Copies of this chain bind each other. A is one copy, B any other.
Amino acid sequence: MAVVVMKFGGTSVADVERIRNVARHVKRETDAGNKVAVVVSAMAGTTNQLVAWVREASPLHDAREYDAVVATGEQITAGLLAIVLQSMGVRARSWQGWQVPIETSEAHGSARIAGVDGAMIRSRLDSGEVAVVTGFQGVEPKANRIATLGRGGSDTSAVAIAVALAADVCDIYTDVDGVYTTDPRIVQKARRLPKISYEEMLEMASLGSKVLQTRSVELAMVHRVRLRVLSSFVAPEQMAPVRLENLENIGTIVTDEDEIVEQQVVSGIAYAKDEAKVTILNVEDKPGVAARIFGPLADANINVDMIVQNVAADGKSTDMTFTVQSAELARTLDVLKAAEKDIGRFDVRSSADVAKISVIGIGMRSHAGVASQMFAALADKGINILAISTSEIKISVLIDAAYAELAVRTLHSVYDLDAA
């Protein structure tokens, strides 16, 4: 017997027929004696309709009212799933964020979960009832108002509830059957990883993998919640119910690196094509210049990713290269132009045709030569590296976007990730 949190996203609950499919997944678990809390997103399309109404009401809208409107999406799904479960003979009850309660910060529209009181849900589970909880939302306790966590927040809701329930596993059902060594649409030989460490998953999530929301992985890592990525589109009766002794036989489990016995040096290759590169040339090299460049960008809420600085040939000025989301490029150039008085005279070059390729693996900590192997492999294919940035467990390079797929395929082979 295990305590299981199951989370289903918008495409898994897109209509009542799919909600019935979700209910069969839940029934499989309760039939096996597991205690289940389900976290649901809004039916695919519903949130978009709600957001469209809000924008039609006013392009500039109060985040508190946006939250009140948009939160109804998950409330609808939760009630419908409870009804379907009951019709299958499974005792179930829906719970909205404010009823649990799931308390959040005051940042309406992108609130953080401040705490989940698991007592009521836990006692329902112990009485044999399934608790269906609305994802993506909670209640801001000071003003007693509904707050949403921002898009994708349902993953974080699921993990926070798993923490509060001391659940044995938090199963995230998606439209893919696990985490892959890289995008299978680019590399046919991409393999599903049975296990991956929190740290690696975190890098993958922040480097463009859409499987899990970054914040949910962080939260799972801090509280050591075992997270699994599974497909909701596998026939529910063909999956074995959760058994703690063999969680690894389906999907991908995200867990402590200690639990991963056979570690590969590199676990996966991530890529992001929507990057733009900005190079500032010949800016005076004096203390505070970086702050004068990046301060205004931060004030404008522009997220700067890689930053590389070089001393220029004359030894007196410096060159600075950084990347932003390509959708932000025009705004970035505007902000720099406006800040020219503070920064001093400079030249600027930019390009939206760049891609970031990242090699990720906790094995890098103990293995030397991963980076040089990467650089050599890319050079071998004639791919020029525009910038490099590294962390303890990943190396990212910026390259010409036209070579992105070639680079991913090449590195996938070089690090022995190809399926047999």
Spell out A's residues near B (CB within 8 Å). Answer: 16, 19-20, 50, 53-54, 56-58, 60-62, 64-66, 68-69, 71-72, 75-76, 78-80, 82-84, 86-87, 93-94, 96, 98-99, 144-146
- Least CB distance, A52 to chain B, in whole angstroms: 9
User: Which residues in B have their C-beta under 8 angstroms from that of A98?
Assistant: 98
10 A-B residue pairings within 8 Å (CB atoms): A50-B76, A54-B79, A57-B83, A62-B86, A65-B80, A65-B82, A68-B79, A68-B94, A68-B96, A69-B76
Contact B68 A53 (CB under 8 A): no
Given contacts A69-B76, A76-B53, contact A83 B62 (CB under 8 A): yes
- Least CB distance, A89 to chain B, in whole angstroms: 11
Q: Which 5 A-B pairs have the closest CB atoms?
A: A69-B79, A58-B87, A72-B72, A68-B79, A57-B83
Contact B66 A83 (CB under 8 A): yes
User: Which residues in B have their C-beta under 8 angstroms from that of A79?
Assistant: 54, 65-66, 68-69
Q: How far is the CA of A56 from the CA of B80 in the complex (A)?
A: 9
Partner of A19, one of B57, B60, B76, B99: B57
| Known A65-B86, A66-B79; 7 more pairs at CB < 8 Å | A16-B53, A50-B76, A53-B80, A57-B87, A58-B84, A65-B79, A69-B76
User: Which residues in B have their C-beta under 8 angstroms from that of A58?
Assistant: 83-84, 86-87
User: Which residues in B have their C-beta under 8 angstroms from that of A53?
Assistant: 16, 76, 80
Partner of A78, one of B16, B68, B82, B84: B68
- Least CB distance, A369 to chain B, in whole angstroms: 57
Give the interface centre of A20, A80, A146 by most chain B CB atoms within 10 Å.
A80
